[in-house]
Amino acid sequence: MTTRYNRIQVTEDPGLTAALRAAAPHLPAGLPRSQQVRELAIAGARHLAMAPASEAQRQELLEQLARKFEEPATMGVDWDLLREGKRLAWPTQ
| Model pLDDT, residue 18 | 96
- H, E, C per residue of the chain: CCCCCCCCCCCCCHHHHHHHHHHHHHCCCCCCHHHHHHHHHHHHHHHHHHCCCCHHHHHHHHHHHHHHHCCHHHCCCCHHHHHHHHHHHCCCC
Q: For the chain, what is the mean pLDDT?
A: 89
User: If you average pLDDT over residues 68-87, what whole number do you get?
Assistant: 83
More confident residue, 2 or 16: 16
Mean pLDDT of 36-52: 91
For position 40, what pLDDT does the model report? 94
For residue 91, the model assigns a pLDDT of 86
> With pLDDT > 70 as the criterion, what percentage of the chain qualifies?
98
pLDDT confidence tier of residue 93, bands split at 50, 70 and 90: low
